[in-house]
Amino acid sequence: MTDRKTQLAGNLAQVEQRIAAACAAAGRGREEVTLIVVTKTYPASDVRILSELGVRHVAENRDQDAAPKAAACADLPLKWHFVGQLQTNKVRSVVGYADFVQSVDRSRLVGALSKEAERAGREVGCLVQVALDAGASGRGERGGVGPDGIEELADLVARAPGLRLDGLMTVAPLTGPYAGREQAAFGRLMDLSTDLRRAHPAATMVSAGMSADLEQAVAAGATHVRVGTAVLGVRPRLG
Ligand SMILES: *Cc1c(COP(=O)(O)O)cnc(C)c1O
């Protein structure tokens, strides 16, 4: 193995062990939690190595980086998740490679995604991004819609041609009442997911937890964890 492959294999094994231990502690089966490796800022060569090591889900947060990377990895059996704030003028490009968009947080974006998905003849899985630190505006600083806005957006996605409503996503808030209380934040997301599933039983994905807090997310009931740093290393710049 190359040095990089050895390194990634070791990191991946550690993350796998953490997820397995968190599942065991929560009395959950390991197969209930899917690992998504966040490859943002890292090259396509790393994505290729991860695929060789058995990773099947990767995530990106900037279309400029993601589009060429996804094109370079089009031969690999990967599912691509888009997890960043998404401008409508990037939607056509994102729909070209993303199997899931986890950052759906406003009606205009739903309209644009639907239009481009139909045009491309693709079905895009959508998660409503929930901002648990949403202020009076009903929006989070890093994207996301406040809990009061979920239902309307979810209904819109569910009715939109080319889109499939898959669930909810959140990032643990750095400010507000949930700051530093990851497990409580993820528990709140689970309650919101329970509410959502009354009207949309198939929207079962709960995407929460990153390198620093994946254990709390698994304990709360997350179905998907998004891990970057713990697999690929500390990013050279903020991404
Ligand atoms: C970067 C990122 C992650 C991964 O964060 P790490 O701390 O590197 O594990 C997860 N989710 C989103 C939305 C991200 O932007």
Residue nearest atom 12 in ligand 1 by C-alpha distance = 83
Distance from residue 119's CA to the centre of ligand 1 (Å)? 30
Atom of ligand 1 at shortest distance to CA of 102? 13
Residue nearest atom 7 in ligand 1 by C-alpha distance = 211
Amino acid at 104: V
Among 154, 155, 160, which Cα is nearest to 123's?
Answer: 160
Alpha-carbon distance of 206 to 97, in angstroms, equals: 22
pLDDT score for 1: 82
Distance from residue 102's CA to the centre of ligand 1 (Å)? 12
Going residue by residue through the chain, which has 239 residues, state the pLDDT in tens, using 9 for 90 and above. 899 999 999 999 999 999 999 999 999 999 999 999 999 999 999 999 999 999 999 999 999 999 999 999 999 999 999 999 999 999 999 999 999 999 999 999 999 999 999 999 999 999 999 999 988 788 888 899 999 999 999 999 999 999 999 999 999 999 999 999 999 999 999 999 999 999 999 999 999 999 999 999 999 999 999 999 999 999 976 55
Phi/psi zone of residue 23: left (φ > 0), alpha (ψ -120 to 50 degrees), beta?
A: alpha
Atom of ligand 1 at shortest distance to CA of 38? 4
pLDDT score for 238: 57
Among 154, 112, 181, 101, which Cα is nearest to 145's?
Answer: 154
Residue nearest atom 4 in ligand 1 by C-alpha distance = 228
pTM score:
0.97
Q: Which residue out of 19, 35, 38 has the highest number of ligand 1 atoms within 8 Å of its CB and is therefore the one to mutate?
A: 38
